[in-house]
């Protein structure tokens, strides 16, 4: 498996942990993964958002989502966006808000597997 595939799978596992056990368990899974591999996974918020967007773009009936799961989805998305803004802001000379439009555009220029779209 390529790195992008592994990152996407890790994000999907994290989302499943959020649904079944809560955000703290998903965060613990990430911490254990980082400790095991010795890798920081700085782009994890990006991949978490890609995983959530996959859920929306799969075409399932939104009525199939339970209200508790929808609340978890919204909280998880908000936390991932907040982390992504912070990470991009810390790398940018224009500050957090200057980076966000570029990050959103980059996110939308990738397919569900994280590959860049041609075109």
Q: What digits encode the pLDDT tens for the residues 19-71?
A: 899 999 999 999 999 999 998 888 899 999 988 888 877 765 656 677 888 88
46 token code pair: 């990006």
User: Could you state, in order of their start, the residue ranges of all structural domains in the chain?
Assistant: 3-108
Report the DSSP beta bridge partners of residue 110.
116
Average pLDDT taken over every residue of the chain = 75
Distance CA 84, CA 78 (A): 10
pLDDT score for 113: 53
pLDDT digits (tens, 9 = 90+) for 38-50: 988 888 999 999 8
- Provide the pLDDT confidence category of residue 96 given band limits of 50, 70 and 90: very low
Polymer length of the chain: 119
116 - beta bridge partners? 110
């Amino acid at each position: 498996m390529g790195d992008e595939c592994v990152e996407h799978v890790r994000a999907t596992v994290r989302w499943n942990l959020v649904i079944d056990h809560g955000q703290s368990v998903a965060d613990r899974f990430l911490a254990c993964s980082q400790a095991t591999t010795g890798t920081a996974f700085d782009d994890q918020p990006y991949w978490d958002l890609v995983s959530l967007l996959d859920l929306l773009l799969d075409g399932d009936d939104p009525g199939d989502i339970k209200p508790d799961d929808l609340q978890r989805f919204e909280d998880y998305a908000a936390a991932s966006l907040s982390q992504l803004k912070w990470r991009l802001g810390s790398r940018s000379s224009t500050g957090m808000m200057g980076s966000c439009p570029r990050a959103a555009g980059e996110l939308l220029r990738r397919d569900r597997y994280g590959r860049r779209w041609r075109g």
